[in-house]
Amino acid sequence: MHIEQLEYIVKVAETGSISIAAQDLHVSQSGISQSITKLEDELGIKLFKRNRRLGAVPTNEGKKLIKKAYEVLMKLQEFKEEAQDFNHVHSGNLKLSSIPGFMLFLLEPLSSFKKTYPNVNIEISEKPVQHIIEHVQNNQIDIGIITIYKDLLKKREDLLFEVILEGKMMVSVGKSSPLALHKSITPQQLMSQNVILYNGDYVKHFANKLNSKFGPLNILFTTDSTEVIKKAIVEGLGISFVPDFSLKNNPHVLSGEIVLVEIINYEQENINLGWVRSKNNHFSITTKKFLEHFKFYSRMLTYTSQND
């Protein structure tokens, strides 16, 4: 048995085709076919049913063994990367996505990570939570930085989550708003305000909870752009909802143009910041090292907030 044979059966199972697997792996179709046949003879088990119309379909026994082969290949990759880590040689790619409005905070951990591992190519994008989850599921990104709330965790057995920062929803208002003079606001008071709603699952989830308990909010407009929301708030067009951790270092908040107001007399569900990744995607050393930097700066943000 050879490592290449494990790679072949995993790729054929993924593609459902020996010819496509051969193209992807840059080997001959006959070479893959003969190699799989030799492995089946060695194991005494048929791994695939071969059909002109359906392609190569794993047998019941094949499904179990192919899963084990995939796990072996992942462990081998981890082995290689651990060895690379000992030699302090980091290269390759890191693909991640973040929810809008949090990119500013990511600059520090990204800068620190890049200084430590200059040979790693980083690709980062800004997307809504559901789009990030879809990309994680499809292995298009290594990891996603998202808001995590209870309903999101339901029926997500294919994903792994970790909470990094715990938070709650706040009201963001412009400095000229009468609400800026208050430290807190009740849900009843919110009902009389024009609300500018971010078109994100975690914000809509929160707004729907308020609607169901206190009546309909007066939604001025909904947008995908956090910059439009901030500008509208500064100009006094309305208020908005935002997790407390997402605007801690925002220039508008630091300058006093936007004020965060606590919601009281309402037992709201925690909304947290964390990462999500696919159970089926290899958890690379590069990703783990980035998360170390991310967690460190997240702890620093929490410490700073507690000592303001």
Q: Domains in the chain, start-ordered, CATH in brackets?
A: 3-85 (1.10.10.10), 90-166+272-306 (3.40.190.10), 169-269 (3.40.190.10)
User: What is the mean pLDDT of the segment spanning 110-115?
Assistant: 88
Residue 210 scores a pLDDT above 80: yes
Crossing angle of helices 18-25 and 3-15, in 10° steps, is: 120
User: What is the mean pLDDT of the segment spanning 112-124?
Assistant: 88
Q: Which two tokens stand for residue 72?
A: 């072996």
User: What is the mean pLDDT of the segment spanning 107-128?
Assistant: 88
User: What is the mean pLDDT of the segment spanning 36-62?
Assistant: 87
Alpha carbons 56 and 9: distance in angstroms, whole number: 10
What pLDDT, on the 0 to 100 scale, is given for residue 304?
Answer: 44
Residue 189 scores a pLDDT above 80: yes
Question: Are 124 and 97 in contact, with CB atoms under 8 Å apart?
Answer: yes
Question: Are 271 and 211 in contact, with CB atoms under 8 Å apart?
Answer: no
What pLDDT, on the 0 to 100 scale, is given for residue 96?
Answer: 93
What pLDDT, on the 0 to 100 scale, is given for residue 245?
Answer: 78
- C-alpha 25, offset from chain centre: 29
User: What is the mean pLDDT of the segment spanning 97-116?
Assistant: 84
Crossing angle of helices 285-306 and 103-116, in 10° steps, is: 130
> Which position has the higher pLDDT, 305 or 247?
247
Q: Average model confidence (pLDDT) for the chain?
A: 85
55 burial (CB, 10 Å; 0-12 / 13-18 / 19+) is middle
Alpha carbons 69 and 7: distance in angstroms, whole number: 8
User: What is the mean pLDDT of the segment spanning 54-82?
Assistant: 85
**∠ at Cα 140 (139, 144), nearest 5°?**
85
Tally of CA atoms within 13 A in the half-sphere of 158 that contains its CB: 9
User: What is the mean pLDDT of the segment spanning 273-297?
Assistant: 85
| Eight-state DSSP code of residue 26 | T
What pLDDT, on the 0 to 100 scale, is given for residue 217?
Answer: 93
Alpha carbons 252 and 247: distance in angstroms, whole number: 9
Give me the percent of the chain exceeding a pLDDT of 90: 31
**pLDDT tier for residue 306 given thresholds of 50, 70 and 90:** very low
Rg for the chain, CA atoms, rounded: 25
pLDDT in tens, 236-272: 999 999 888 777 667 888 899 999 999 998 888 778 8
Question: Are 263 and 270 in contact, with CB atoms under 8 Å apart?
Answer: no
Three-state secondary structure call for residue 196: strand
What pLDDT, on the 0 to 100 scale, is given for residue 281?
Answer: 78
Alpha carbons 285 and 143: distance in angstroms, whole number: 12
**pLDDT tier for residue 303 given thresholds of 50, 70 and 90:** very low
Cα-based distances in Å from 15 to 6, 74, 165, 292: 14, 18, 39, 34
User: What is the mean pLDDT of the segment spanning 106-118?
Assistant: 87
DSSP string for residues in 90-138: --EEEEEEE-TT-HHHHHHHHHHHHHH-TTEEEEEEE--HHHHHHHHHT
What pLDDT, on the 0 to 100 scale, is given for residue 305?
Answer: 47
Question: Are 47 and 40 in contact, with CB atoms under 8 Å apart?
Answer: yes
User: What is the mean pLDDT of the segment spanning 78-93?
Assistant: 68
> Which position has the higher pLDDT, 99 or 171?
171
Compute the CA torsion angle 109, 113, 115, 116 (nearest 10 deg): 140
Residue 307 scores a pLDDT above 60: no
Question: Are 190 and 171 in contact, with CB atoms under 8 Å apart?
Answer: yes
